[in-house]
Amino acid sequence: MLSVIELERAYCAHNYQPLPVVLTRGEGCYVWDEPGNRYLDMMSAYSAVSFGHAHPRLLKALGEQAARLAVVSRAFHTEVLAPFVRHACELTGLAMGLPMNTGAEAVETALKAARRWAYEVKGVAEDRAEIIVCDGNFHGRTIALVGLSSEQNYKQHFGPFPMGFVRIPYGDAGALARAINPRTAAFLVEPIQGEAGIIVPPAGYLKHCAELCRAHNVLLLCDEIQTGLGRTGRVLACQHEGVQPDGIMLGKALGGGFLPVSMFLARREVMEVFTPGSHGSTFGGNPLAAAVGLEALKLLVEERLAERAAELGEYFLGRLRAVQSSYIRAVRGKGLFIGIEIDTGRFSARDLCMRLASHGILTKDTHESVIRLAPPLIITETELNWACDRIGDAFLEMG
């Protein structure tokens, strides 16, 4: 009889390379495997489980709404959608929201809005609009979004790709200034790059970019799918520099760890380019997603999770930077969004993740050189101390 891993290898596409752990249950900051071993989840499903596994309030909201009304499409009004979107708007300071499902859908929605805004409001000639993006970006896996990536593995043999994108170095406001021209519709940027290896730009970068966009009538679009909703110590990562973008994308944590829920939020002038029939999604904004998303936003504020991430993140970064190992090249991050870059001359980041799993910590590498540490925001200082000790042990054993 095939094991679970063998069965998955036989029937599932090989587009992932999971660690050889079969998880069966999760609660709070912990998950359990088939034999019953417990692990501290230091990845949170790329920030989708920011509230921890099976949060009782979110589970209650999910169950109650599922028992009443789950999916009817946007062909009809439902009582939950408007309160959900209004709460998201009030929390982010933007005027209108368009709910979708995955983060990639939210980014695609933002790109469509930016292009239509360029033609109908800014006056760019039809089919000539340009959107500026950054090297090292990760905005999703659609044809358009991998097309604007600088990572060859994401795009190999998937072309041809849509035109109209200009890529510049990340963290270089001067490069943005040089790339802007009369055809530029928007600048799409991650306040902190996640998939690239938790890359924090120089202080003042995002603020300078916002000023350039404002001066040239270019939309500033911030992808906050991983960094948003408290992860970096503020509700939005762009708030660290007092920046109010023209549009933001939320996802992952918005679904409370239960459902794919995302949203594009923007200024009214930008969002009103959409008219009936111009964009849509069968599942986007469904009552079940809206109920869970609304409860997640309330939890974020009521449990002060952004403030908690700021305090614990500063403490955790300090402890990690004190770990002694010649294989650590850098420890960087903000809040509970942290990366440990290692010297891969002797072992890979995946090797280290395997060793951490043997110590009861689950996380994943990125680009084989960076360990990603992004635990649920409900984690305690005691649990972070335990994790830091295990990380130190793993480096000693590998070295």
| Angle subtended at Cα 78 by Cα 76 and Cα 83, rounded to the nearest 5 degrees | 135
Beta-carbon contacts of residue 100 (< 8 Å; ≥ 6 apart): 106, 109, 262, 263, 264, 281, 284, 285
Please give the angle made by the CA atoms of 298, 304 and 309, to the nearest 5 degrees.
Answer: 120
Measure the CA–CA gap between 87 and 94, rounded to whole angstroms: 10
Q: Which of 258, 293, 257 is nearest to 376 (CA)?
A: 257
Q: Tokens 């635990």 label which residue?
A: 375
How far is C-alpha 137 from the chain's CA centre? Answer: 12
The reply to whether 365 belongs to the active site is: no
Helix (H) or strand (E) holding 208: helix 205-215
> Residue 175 class from Cβ within 10 Å (0-12 exposed, 13-18 middle, 19+ buried)?
middle
User: What residue has token string 């990690």?
Assistant: 320
- Bridge partners, 31 (sequence order): 26, 39
What angle do the packed helices 287-302 and 81-92 form, to 10 degrees? 40
Please, which residues bridge with residue 100 across strands? Answer: 262
Annotated active-site residue 172? The verdict is no
Does the active-site annotation cover 223? yes
| Tokens read off for 165 | 């994108």
- 294 vs 110: CA distance, rounded Å: 21
Which one from 51, 84, 138, 316 is the annotated catalytic residue? Answer: 138
Catalytic residue among 41, 51, 84, 223: 223
Q: Are 247 and 265 in contact (CB under 8 A)?
A: yes
- Within its chain, how far is the Cα of 193 from the centroid? 9
Q: Which of 84, 172, 252, 316 does the annotation list as catalytic?
A: 252
User: What residues contact 353, with CB distance under 8 A and at least 6 apart?
Assistant: 19, 363, 364, 365, 371
Residue owning tokens 């503020």: 234
What does the block give as tokens for 330?
């850098």
**Which phi and psi (to 5°) does residue 64 adopt?**
-65, -40
Strands (E), 90-138: 96-100, 130-134
Catalytic residues: 138, 223, 252
